[in-house]
Structure 1
Amino acid sequence: MATTFAVIYSYTDDSALRDDTRPAHRDYLRGFIDDGTLLVAGAWAPGEAPGGLLVFRAEDKAAVQAIVDKDPFTTAGVVAGADIREWAPPLGPLAGALTGQA
């Protein structure tokens, strides 16, 4: 049974490296959108610390860690830290879908 995981990326301050790597990062993530593993992803808004949020449905945390480890943002050194947390939101219009109850 798949579980929902939130991944919080913190980026380095190297915006040029981030910009150069972004196309490969997005291409890599598109494959996980296509297979239903990645539900949503995006960078924090301007004015926030560099980073982003990704929400996955996967069998376990190790599967998500493997995705993060191979992300071009990680391999190129854009990601300074990745916090992976199991997430089971109880409220809101998407809660059932995110917890597999819908």
Structure 2
Amino acid sequence: MAVFALIYRYTDETDRRMEVRPRHREYLAGLAEQGTVLVAGAFADESAPGGLIIVRAGSDAEVENLVQGDPYQEAGVIAGYAIREWAPPIGPLAGEFAGG
């Protein structure tokens, strides 16, 4: 299993995003319980709204499937996203992301 960075860019529809946020977080929490989502959170700068989700998956296609199941995608509040395989070799948490 590889580790991927999933980077979301949100639309300016903040009210709609806040309305859907509980379902989005529930979805991610379920994936975290399965060991798929390792860490997730929104960027602090609301002038460029988005979020980062670190995912353990077998391929970028699997990550793509996670995006398609996200309530944010269904609600249309994701303006764009990028999926990048990530291999953090340095830092106190690097070992937490290794293996699977």
- TM-score, shorter chain, exceeding 0.5: yes
Would the alpha carbon gap of residues 88 and 10 (structure 1) be closer, same or farther in structure 2, given more than 3 Å must change?
same
Counterpart position of 1:3? 2
Counterparts of 1:90-101 in structure 2, within 5 Å, are 90-100=89-99
Counterpart position of 1:67? 66
Counterpart position of 1:57? 56
Point out where structure 2 has 5 or more consecutive residues left out of the alignment.
none
What is the rounded CA distance, in whole Å, between the counterparts of 1:3 and 1:27 in structure 2? 23
Pairwise CA distance, 1:96:
2.3
Give per-residue Cα distances to partners, 1:14-71, cap 9 Å, x unaligned. 1011011101101111110101100111101144510000000111111111001110
What is the rounded CA distance, in whole Å, between the counterparts of 2:81 and 2:45 in structure 1? 19
What is the rounded CA distance, in whole Å, between the counterparts of 1:98 and 1:83 in structure 2? 19
Counterparts of 1:15-94 in structure 2, within 5 Å, are 15-94=14-93
Number of equivalences: 100
Q: Root-mean-square deviation (CA), in Å? A: 1.4
Residue 53 of structure 1 aligns to which amino acid in structure 2?
L
Moved over 4 A (4+): none
